[in-house]
Homo-oligomer: A and B are copies of this chain.
Amino acid sequence: VVGVDLGGSHVYAAVIDAKGVILAQADADIDRARPPEQILRGDVAVTVRAAIVAAESRSGASPGSIAVKGVGMGLPGNIDRVRGICRFSPNFHWRDVAVAAPLQEELGQPVFLLNDVRSHTLGERHFGAGRGHQSFAMLAIGTGIGGGLVIGGRLIEGAHSAGGELGHITVDPLGPRCGCGNDGCVEAVASGPAIVRAAQASIAAGRGGALLAQAGGDPGAITPAQVASAAEAGDAEALAIFTRAGEAIGIAVAAVMTTVDPEVVLIGGGVGQAGELLLRPIREEAARRCRMVPAGATPVIPAALGEKAGLVGAAALALESLGLLDPVLV
């Protein structure tokens, strides 16, 4: 199958086998201001074909000889999987856009669509840290905070495709405005941009020498990875920024533990790469906040798929939808 990861500025596609192994991939910049049909029939379809050509060339197969069975695509936003429609995507400013149908027509292949982090969750279930678990929660900490939830061996999609939107749990009722319109969502408090803002505030307050050095002297250029580097090098200010972000995520994790009590919680996404810097305060705050589960009884561990999560997750969606994997989707 081909897994496609469509973000606000870039599309990635990969040919992936039934074991979740990437055979070849391709990618392209996209202009999200263009009409959806042009993005889908143009950039996305071209990138899918390029990935197939790359797989053929890499394996020495003759052109047209790799038999792709279907395409899975993850997209940020509220996705109606069954109808293949994007109900709402803040990144693209799309509302009720048919996504699967035009792409399917263009490619002559079945196309399956799901929210990107729910796809990632499927990927973790089949090929990653969710293997063997009947229930787990997934939080992907990056530019936003996405989520996904498997309970009773099934992905929770919800009555309005909002099941698993864990990044929009309120963790600070009077906290900063979130892109969604609410105040104090964990995404608004602990995502990559929130960590960058906290670092910039430290610099502005004269406490961010180590942070400023990491950013090469330009506060506007600082990244979450640089804040993590400063923290790992022992900078107390950077460490406190990750601790506060982790505590906010811990409140959301505690809400998930209190609501559905999963076997395990996975932390992924780009900012999740910070590892123990983020995991330790998440674990401590979750244990402090959720007394219904014995402290530490719910492991909070890194997701396994790393940078390939979007592609492997989208492939898992296609493989499962085609009946090639045990069902996690209802």
Contacts and interface: CB of A to CB of B under 8 A. Distances in A.
A251 B259 CA distance: 13
Given A159-B262, A160-B293, 20 more contacts: A135-B158, A151-B151, A151-B152, A151-B260, A158-B261, A158-B262, A159-B261, A160-B294, A160-B297, A160-B298, A162-B261, A162-B290, A162-B292, A165-B258, A165-B292, A169-B254, A170-B255, A182-B254, A182-B291, A255-B255
Number of this chain's copies in the assembly equals 2
Most chain B CB inside 10 Å of its own CB: which residue of A135, A162, A298: A162
Interface in A253-299: 254-263, 288-294, 297-298
A163 interface: yes
A232 interface: no
Contact of A260 (B172, B258, B260, B293): B260
Q: Which are the 8 A-B pairs with shortest beta-carbon distances? A: A158-B261, A162-B292, A162-B261, A163-B261, A180-B291, A159-B263, A165-B292, A160-B293
27 contacts: A151-B151, A151-B152, A152-B152, A152-B330, A158-B260, A158-B261, A159-B293, A159-B297, A159-B298, A160-B261, A160-B292, A160-B294, A160-B298, A162-B261, A162-B292, A163-B260, A164-B259, A165-B292, A170-B255, A180-B291, A180-B292, A181-B291, A182-B254, A182-B288, A255-B255, A256-B259, A259-B259
A120 interface: no
